[in-house]
């Protein structure tokens, strides 16, 4: 790091901390000093907006108020509370990490970055955030917001996702840390990125760092950092088989790895556009172990947009003669599945199924 960068880095906390004290948003996890609560909030805030996180955080903390409660819970219960928040590996990792805290750290979250990083799912960002915010340690954090602010402050024109550039940004984040109040400083940088130094149209006129900011002085805030090359969105078709026997429906649990890992669903399979019903029929036969006929028409056809995929769900119903035992499967009433964790997409499919079942009942009753 050159002398000019060091000079800019050293002056930042002095201007940023007073701004943060005046402008900090009142968020539920800022009203506590409980390291466990701060850790949960940081895990939820990764890749998810504050407004979305707040209700999930409050429900999660109500259900699992301590690390012991989280460690003692079943994974299904944890994923159910995570349902709809996306990136479900975070929920699975939190659960595994809570067990590790109880087993290896006497039920107390460790306070140093190195120990925190031994916990499943805890990377450099979460470890730095928990160590600094909950324990006042001198540890840096770099998330997407912080990387953008630093790139602009120091006029870094390279892609901030490149390993070399990321390393440089981490070094600068460490050099910027004050000797005290590191937790507030890190939150201030994140807050500035979320509310002032936004991806497009940063509000430089009201920014406390505008005088020393190189991108602002160069008039280059719209090209620094360079726009990310967006990964292509893949289109997929998933067929869903809603198999019923005597008023109960077959639900299966997805493998732990991969998309929606560990969550429950009506059985599904990948298909090609145009062959949905054929694939649904094959899946239904595999599940029932016998010939079954599936509905001629789909009960639901809906799209769910994920970060890199656009998935079309096409659901068919079928009736099985017996309730075959399926590994990781359960036969349940449609009204008694609240204890299972479903993705947001699968909940929409289930709403479609309930509507189709209700519609059919109404037609039979009026006939």
* Residue 347 DSSP code: H
* Footprint (CB under 6 A) of ligand SF4, residues 323-342: none
Residue 110-139 contact track with ligand SF4, rule CB under 6 A, x = bound: ------------------------------
CB of 172 to ligand SF4, least distance (A): 13
In the set 71, 94, 97, 153, which binds ligand SF4 (CB under 6 A)? 153
CB of 193 to ligand SF4, least distance (A): 8
Catalytic annotation present for 42: yes
Which of 42, 191, 265, 276 is an active site residue? 42
In the set 12, 94, 109, 149, which binds ligand SF4 (CB under 6 A)? 149
Residues near ligand SF4 (CB under 6 A), total: 15
Q: Which residue has the tokens 């799912």?
A: 121
For residue 22, which phi and psi values (nearest 5 degrees)?
-80, -35
- Max Cα–Cα distance, the chain, nearest Å: 85
CB of 168 to ligand SF4, least distance (A): 17
> Which tokens hold the place of 332?
């349940």
> Which tokens hold the place of 121?
């799912």
> Which tokens hold the place of 1?
């790091």
- Rounded CA-CA distance 86/247 in Å is 31
- Answer for the pair 242, 266: CB distance below 8 angstroms, yes or no: yes
C-beta of 132 vs 216, nearer to ligand SF4: 216
Query: In terms of Cα–Cα distance, which of 186, 190, 187, 192 is closest to 204?
Result: 192
CB of 96 to ligand SF4, least distance (A): 37
Output the CA torsion 304→305→311→314 (10° steps): 20
Q: Which residue has the tokens 């989280």?
A: 70
Query: In terms of Cα–Cα distance, which of 110, 89, 113 is closest to 36?
Result: 110
C-beta of 98 vs 207, nearer to ligand SF4: 207
Terminal alpha carbon distance of the chain: 80
Query: Could you give the 3-state DSSP secondary structure of residue 296?
Result: coil
The reply to whether 8 sits near ligand SF4 by the rule CB under 6 A is no
C-beta of 225 vs 262, nearer to ligand SF4: 225
Q: In whole angstroms, how far apart are CA 59 and each of 56, 78, 89, 120?
A: 5, 11, 19, 22
CB of 198 to ligand SF4, least distance (A): 8
> Which tokens hold the place of 231?
């990964």
C-beta of 224 vs 239, nearer to ligand SF4: 224
Query: Could you give the 3-state DSSP secondary structure of residue 301?
Result: strand
* Footprint (CB under 6 A) of ligand SF4, residues 179-218: 196-197, 202-204, 207, 209-210, 213, 215-216
CB of 4 to ligand SF4, least distance (A): 16
Query: In terms of Cα–Cα distance, which of 50, 53, 57 is closest to 25?
Result: 50
> Which tokens hold the place of 31?
């009203």
C-beta of 37 vs 197, nearer to ligand SF4: 197
C-beta of 188 vs 197, nearer to ligand SF4: 197
Given the rule CB under 6 A, which residues bind ligand SF4? 149, 152-153, 196-197, 202-204, 207, 209-210, 213, 215-216, 221
| Catalytic residue set | 42
């Amino acid at each position: 790091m050159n002398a000019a960068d060091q000079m800019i880095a050293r002056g930042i906390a002095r201007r940023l901390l007073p701004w943060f004290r005046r402008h900090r948003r009142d968020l539920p996890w800022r009203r506590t000093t409980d390291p466990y609560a701060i850790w949960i909030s940081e895990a939820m805030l990764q890749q998810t907006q504050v407004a979305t996180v707040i209700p999930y955080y409050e429900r999660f903390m109500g259900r699992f108020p301590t690390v012991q409660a989280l460690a003692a819970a079943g994974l299904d219960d944890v994923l159910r509370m995570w349902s709809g928040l996306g990136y479900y590996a975070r929920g699975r990792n939190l659960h595994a990490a809570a067990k590790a805290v109880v087993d290896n750290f006497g039920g107390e979250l460790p306070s140093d970055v190195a120990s925190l990083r031994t916990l499943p799912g805890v990377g450099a960002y979460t470890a730095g955030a928990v160590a600094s915010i909950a324990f006042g340690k001198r540890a840096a954090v770099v998330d997407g917001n912080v990387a953008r602010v630093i790139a602009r402050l120091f006029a870094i024109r390279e892609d901030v996702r490149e390993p070399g550039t990321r390393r440089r940004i981490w070094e600068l984040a460490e050099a910027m840390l004050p000797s005290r109040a590191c937790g507030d400083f890190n939150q201030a940088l994140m807050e500035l990125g979320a509310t002032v130094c936004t991806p497009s149209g940063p509000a430089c006129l009201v920014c406390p760092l505008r005088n020393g900011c190189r991108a602002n002085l160069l008039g280059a805030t719209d090209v620094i950092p360079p726009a990310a090359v967006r990964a292509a969105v893949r289109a997929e078709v998933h067929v869903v088989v809603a198999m019923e026997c005597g008023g109960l429906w077959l639900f299966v649990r997805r493998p732990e790895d991969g998309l929606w890992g560990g969550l429950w669903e009506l059985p599904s399979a990948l298909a090609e556009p145009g062959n949905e019903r054929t694939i649904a029929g094959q899946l239904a036969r595999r599940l029932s172990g016998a010939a079954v006929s599936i509905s001629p028409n789909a009960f639901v056809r809906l799209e769910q947009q994920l970060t890199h995929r656009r998935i079309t769900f096409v659901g068919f119903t079928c009736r099985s003669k017996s309730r075959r035992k399926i590994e990781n499967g359960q036969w349940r009433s449609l009204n008694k599945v609240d204890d299972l964790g479903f993705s947001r997409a699968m909940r929409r499919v289930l709403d479609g199924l309930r509507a189709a079942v209700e519609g059919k009942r109404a037609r039979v009753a009026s006939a």
